[in-house]
Amino acid sequence: MENYWNKQQQKPHTLRNGGLWRDESGRHINAHGGGIMKYGDTYYWFGEHKDDHTSNAMVGVMCYASKDLMNWRNCGVALSVTDERGHDIERGCILERPKVIYNKVTGKFCMWFHLELKGRGYNAARYGVAVADRPEGPYKFLYSSRANAGTWPIEFDKKACAIADTLNMDNYKKWWTPSWRKAIDKGLFVKRDFAAGQMSRDMTLYIDDDGKAYHIFASEDNVTLHIAELTADYLHHTGRYTRVASGGQNEAPAIFKHDGTYWMITSGCTGWEPNEARMFSAPSIWGPWTQHPNPCRGPKAEKTFNGQSTFVLTLEDGRHIFMADIWRPRHPRDARYIWIPIEFEDNKPVIRWRDEVTF
Ligand code: DGJ
């Protein structure tokens, strides 16, 4: 095992994809399933702190800061788990894929993440929200919840709502049959979770040019993605949401806009094992979303280079950087990172493997 405290390569000129990425103190950066927010002239990288032997949250969300995307200063724990028994973010819960956005109107930094309550596996399927006055935190936990209880997706007209309302889980016990697929399409799981709220697992956040923000998450037992609009303070859902790729089993959504087109890169659902990336585009955040072939090229392109998408960072010059995690479930802390600038071919994003990148 490599030594985290080994101080070689203190000022990296390149980042080696899949290598050990050290912060300014020489330690392997511990910010998995992460995302980046730029505030002022500084990039803030938020991600899951992972332990040596468990993927559960024993510490919380880490924050690192950099001015050049290459040299990262450890800003410490941005959102800390707690030892209070029964608390939503009790130490040992599952807290994944944290993302932070800045709200220009309130002046607050808003963090959303996927939360699973301690001891309940992946059954809670909630999102959590925390807020801070400074980018690096400390973030104050506000609440956790299922999503959009009591509301149908915007594409369901009166008739579709009435049909969805009649769907009964007892009639569709077997998954993946043609009739089950049809029922999923019509909202079988949306109806099942209508009153309690929709499931919310792998997620990202996106702020559009008009300042509206969206929460994009794997819902309906990871079978269908939801895109939900956030309130002006970025702390709640408005109740407006749309479904994407119903029955498509997408996780790990990462979204960006290029020349007016919305692009989303996702993965399939194979736990910590890598699989082939998927890609979608739409003329509006509300769709319609069209699926495209895998954007990855090069060795292990059919397994996303052994990684899984987590975020796409758009730079001020319009370039986009695809970010992925190479998970190490047996040594979660030692999971690695892949960052690759996105190219465009025939107006479509292409992610071509690179051993090293520099910014
Ligand atoms: C895949 C998800 O993308 C990860 O964030 C994590 O939840 C794992 N599944 C757990 O198996």
The closest-lying atom of ligand 1 relative to the alpha carbon of residue 55 is: 10
pLDDT digits (tens, 9 = 90+) for 50-74: 999 999 999 999 999 999 999 999 9
Neighbours of 82 (CB within 10 A): 13
pLDDT digits (tens, 9 = 90+) for 114-153: 999 999 999 999 999 999 999 999 999 999 999 999 999 9
* Residue 9 pLDDT > 70: no
Q: How far is the CA of 117 from the centre of ligand 1 (A)?
A: 15
Predicted pLDDT at 13: 80
Say what percent of the chain tops pLDDT 70: 97
CATH class of the 1-29+275-359 domain in this structure: mainly beta
Q: Where are the domains of the chain?
A: 1-29+275-359
Q: Say how far apart CA 320 and CA 280 lie, in whole Å.
A: 16
257 pLDDT band (50/70/90 cuts)? very high
Predicted pLDDT at 10: 56
Q: How far is the CA of 29 from the centre of ligand 1 (A)?
A: 19
Ligand 1 binding pocket (C-beta < 6 A) is 33, 96-97, 202, 251-252, 271-272, 308
Q: Say how far apart CA 339 and CA 321 lie, in whole Å.
A: 6
The residue whose two tokens read 């796409």 is: 312
Q: Tell me how many degrees the CA angle 165-168-169 measures, rounded to the nearest 5.
A: 135
275 pLDDT band (50/70/90 cuts)? very high
Residue 177's alpha-carbon distances to 160, 172, 289, in angstroms, are 21, 9, 24
Pocket test for ligand 1, best of 204, 221, 308, 309 (most atoms within 8 A of CB): 308
pLDDT digits (tens, 9 = 90+) for 299-331: 999 999 999 999 999 999 999 999 999 999 999
- Helix residue ranges, H only, the chain: 158-166, 178-186, 188-192
Residue 284's nearest CA partner among 202, 175, 176, 209 is 209
Beta strand pairing call for 296-297 and 348-352: parallel
The closest-lying atom of ligand 1 relative to the alpha carbon of residue 308 is: 3
Say what percent of the chain tops pLDDT 90: 96
Residue 267's nearest CA partner among 29, 120, 15, 97 is 97
Pocket test for ligand 1, best of 61, 93, 94, 96 (most atoms within 8 A of CB): 96
Residue nearest to atom 3 of ligand 1 (CA): 252
